[in-house]
Every structure is written in C-alpha cells, then in structure tokens.
C-alpha cells in the first residue's frame, strides 16, 4: 500500500483546522473576557452600590430638610395667628369664645402631626427628635397656657423659624399657610 500525497487534500484539512482553531480561540476569548468582567465587577460592586446609596440618602436628607422647613413655618404661623387671637380676646365682647380659639389651634396643630409625611420623615429620625418632642408638647397643651407651661417650645419654633432660609419659596409658602390658617382656624373643614 502506497500513500499518496495529495496537496489539495492537505490544504483543505489545514483550512478546516484553522477555522476550527479560530472558533475555539474566539470562544475562549469570550469566556476569558466574561470571567474578567465578573471579577472586576465583584471588586468594584460594593463601591458602586455604596456611592449610589449615599446619593439616595443625601437626596432623602435634602427632601426631609425641605419638609422640616415647611413644618417649622406652618407651626410658627399657627402659633402667631393663635397668639394674635388670644391677644385680641376679651370676655363677652370677642366674636369668638375662648373655646373656639383653643379648638382652632388644636385642630390645625393636630392636622400637622397626623400627616403621613410627619411620622415617616421625623418620628424615627434621631436628627429631628427635638422637633418631634416640641411638636407633641404644643399639641397637648392648650394654647392659652403656651406662654406659662411651654415657653421653651414656643421659643424653639421661633428660633427655627428664623433659621429657615429666606427666599421666594419661603415667602410663597408663608402666604399659602397664612391663607389656609385664616380660612380653617374657625371652620371644621
């Protein structure tokens, strides 16, 4: 038996072998790239997730601070309006009896602390513990006794009110709150 050497047959086999090798090397490169990408992701994953969580937390703190400012403005405007009503009150002469003034203040303050965003944003937040304490105190104390029983609470709201940044947003919000107070103080709605 004699082996015949066929050059065309050898060229076809080499070509098939080269194509097969290219496919194997390509698949191997893809697998290697996937493994490297996985390892790199494992190394930087915690940093990326931590940075993302910090961004979310900072945004939440910013929104909570803006909400805090709104609450401070609202509480203090209710205090100012109530104190003005108490100052103008005269027994048997005033258009509104003392009971209506006390009830109006209590109703508006109660609405503030029973809003969903109040408990969600402030009650379990250690940073706003003092605010929550004073909000609760002013709610359980009759308005005609604020100056005698809780002057530190009234002073707290006044100081916080003065710390709210000045600007158009503040002014617009105060006008909105004042309008709401004057409409709802003596009305049950």
Model confidence over 11-56: pLDDT tens digits?
566 666 677 788 888 999 999 999 999 888 888 888 888 999 999 9
In a domain, 34, yes or no: no
Asked whether residue 8 is assigned to any structural domain, the reply reads no
Instruction: Indicate if the pLDDT at residue 157 is higher than 80.
Output: yes
Residue 47 lies in a domain: no
pLDDT of residue 106: 93
Q: What is the pTM of this model?
A: 0.75
**CA dist., res. 109 & res. 102, Å (int):** 11
Are residues 164 and 170 in contact, defined by beta-carbon separation less than 8 angstroms?
Answer: yes
Per-residue buried b or exposed e for 129-158, using 16+ beta carbons within 10 Å of the residue's own CB: eebbebbebbeebebbebeeebeebbebbe
Mean pLDDT, the chain, rounded, equals: 87
pLDDT band with cut points at 50, 70 and 90 for residue 2: low
Task: Quote the CA–CA distance of 52 and 107 in Å, as a whole number.
Answer: 41
**Element counts in the chain: helices (H) and strands (E):** 7, 0
- The residue-averaged pLDDT of 161-189 equals 88
H or E stretch at 52: helix 7-88
Neighbours of 116 (CB within 10 A): 7
Flag whether 25 is in a domain: no
Query: What pLDDT sits at residue 108?
Result: 92
| Average pLDDT of the residues in 136-140 | 95
Confidence of residue 89 (pLDDT cuts 50, 70, 90): confident
Buried b / exposed e over 30-54, threshold 16 CB at 10 Å, is eeeeeeeeeeeeeeeeeeeeeeeee
Domain count, the chain: 1
Q: Which domain holds residue 107?
A: 57-185
Average pLDDT over residues 90-112: 86
Placement of tokens 């090798």 in the chain = 21
Q: How many angstroms separate the CA atoms of 189 and 185, rounded?
A: 9
CB-based burial label for 105 (10 Å; 0-12, 13-18, 19+): buried
- pLDDT for the residue 14: 62
């Amino acid at each position: 038996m004699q082996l015949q050497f066929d050059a065309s047959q050898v060229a076809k086999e080499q070509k098939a072998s080269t194509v097969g090798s290219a496919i194997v090397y390509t698949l191997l490169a893809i697998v290697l790239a996937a493994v490297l990408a996985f390892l790199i992701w494992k190394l930087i994953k915690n940093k990326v997730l931590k940075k993302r969580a910090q961004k979310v937390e900072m945004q939440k703190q910013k929104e909570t601070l803006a909400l805090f400012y709104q609450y401070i403005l609202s509480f203090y405007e209710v205090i100012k309006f109530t104190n003005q009503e108490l100052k103008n009150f005269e027994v048997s002469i005033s258009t509104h009896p003392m009971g209506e003034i006390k009830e109006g203040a209590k109703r508006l303050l109660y609405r503030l602390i029973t809003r969903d965003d109040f408990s969600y944003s402030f009650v379990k937040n250690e940073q706003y513990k003092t605010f929550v304490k004073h909000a609760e105190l002013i709610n359980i104390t009759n308005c005609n006794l604020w100056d005698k029983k809780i002057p530190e609470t009234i002073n707290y709201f006044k100081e916080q009110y003065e710390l709210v940044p000045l600007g158009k947003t503040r002014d617009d919000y105060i006008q909105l709150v004042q309008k709401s107070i004057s409409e709802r103080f003596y009305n049950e709605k």
